[in-house]
Amino acid sequence: MLKCKHVTEKADALVDGSALSRRERLALRLHLMMCQNCRRYVRQLRALLGFLPRKEEPLEDARTEAILKKLDPSQDR
Amino acid sequence: MPDTHPEDLQFIERLRQGDRAAFGQLVKTHHNMLLATARTLLNPADAEEAVQDAWIAAHRAIAKFEGRSQLRTWLTRIVINQAKMMLRKRGREIQFDPTDDPDALAHRFHNDGHWQQPPQHWELSSPDNLLTREELRHCMEKHLHFMPDSQRLVLELRDLQGLPAEDVCNMLELSASNVRVLLHRARARLFEMVDHFQETGEC
């Protein structure tokens, strides 16, 4: 039987949807069915990761231009 | 997270030919993300410099880009190398041994592996969602700052930028299991922080 401590260690793969063997996945599901604390852990971990700030804004044109200028000074205009 | 960038063969070909506009688009799309990566290891001024140097290195090497990895992965690797060089200049190095730092959740379990201190119930429904609170955001920043460099870097690449685990292993020259442990340790620290905040209202 999987221990709670191991569930928290395997929870990363579970929330990432990454490779777990069928056996591991089954053992996790079984444990989560019975253990409210681990269910809470997994649910809240998922929520936490969903709220991490992401930085995807493109760079402003002026700063892009400034970087390009430093690449090859001969291209300065 | 999908690459927002039109990474088709035609675009790569333009880059390889030295097309200035194409390179400009590359900078525009990826710069802020690369800067975020550099900042996990360096102070803001050094990070700016490392990324500028990385662009110079990328510009020199782009003609030889073979398209075996995504451009984003290729660029991130260059930035990490620049950042490591900068760290070395400052007499620092990133410590990648994951056993250096204990699992932040370890103390919550009995010896038999069952919960001794189970997680608190987090208030996650709007408008009182714990995770959207300003104080929690500040607290998270603080914890990120004190996290070991290796954990912060892996968390940034995997969870904030959504890079594939395999790419992160290659970039950092770490085994899959080390990356897994570092990511787990980083997440455990954040979980512990939020749980403590839920319980006490304090950082």
The complex's ipTM works out to 0.88
Considering the domain boundaries, does residue A76 fall inside one? no
Tokens 């880009």 found at: B65
Q: For the residues A50-57, what does the mean pLDDT come to?
A: 83
Range of the domain at A55: 4-71
* B68-78: pLDDT as tens digits: 888 999 999 99
Buried b vs exposed e over A1-22: b needs ≥16 C-beta within 10 Å? ebbbbbbbbbbbbbbbeeeeee
> Hey, is the C-beta of A5 within 8 angstroms of any chain B C-beta?
yes
Contacts of B141 (CB under 8 A, 6+ apart): none
- The DSSP code sequence of B17-53 is TT-HHHHHHHHHHHHHHHHHHHHTTS-HHHHHHHHHH
Q: Where are the domains of chain B?
A: 9-89, 98-200
Instruction: Please report the pLDDT score of residue B1 as a whole number.
Output: 39
Length of chain A: 77
Find out whether B12 and B64 touch, Cβ atoms under 8 Å: no
Reading phi first (left if > 0) and then psi (alpha if -120 to 50, else beta), residue B113 is in left
> Hey, is the C-beta of A1 within 8 angstroms of any chain B C-beta?
no
* A2-52: pLDDT as tens digits: 899 999 999 999 999 877 899 999 999 999 999 999 999 999 999 999 999
Considering the domain boundaries, does residue A26 fall inside one? yes
Find out whether B41 and B153 touch, Cβ atoms under 8 Å: yes
Local structure of B113: helix, strand or coil:
coil
Q: At what angle do helices A36-50 and A22-34 cross, to 10 degrees?
A: 110
- pLDDT at residue B148 above 60? yes
Length of chain B: 203
Query: What's the rounded Cα separation, in Å, for the pair B34 and B42?
Result: 12
Q: Which of A40-44, A58-62, B3-7, B117-121 has the lowest mean pLDDT?
A: B3-7
- pLDDT at residue B83 above 70? yes
DSSP at A35: -
Instruction: Please tell me the total count of domains within chain A.
Output: 1
May I ask the CATH architecture of the domain B98-200? Orthogonal Bundle (1.10)
- Domain pair B9-89 / B98-200, same fold: no
A:11-50 residues touching chain B, CB 8 A cutoff: 12-13, 16, 18, 37-38, 40-41, 44-45, 47-49
Domain B9-89 part of CATH 1.25.40.10: no
Query: What's the rounded Cα separation, in Å, for the pair B177 and A43?
Result: 24
Q: Cβ separation of A37 and B112 shorter than 8 Å? A: no
Nearest to B106 by CA among B94, B95, B91, B116: B116
The model's pTM is 0.89
Which residues on chain B are in Cβ contact (under 8 Å) with A49?
159, 187
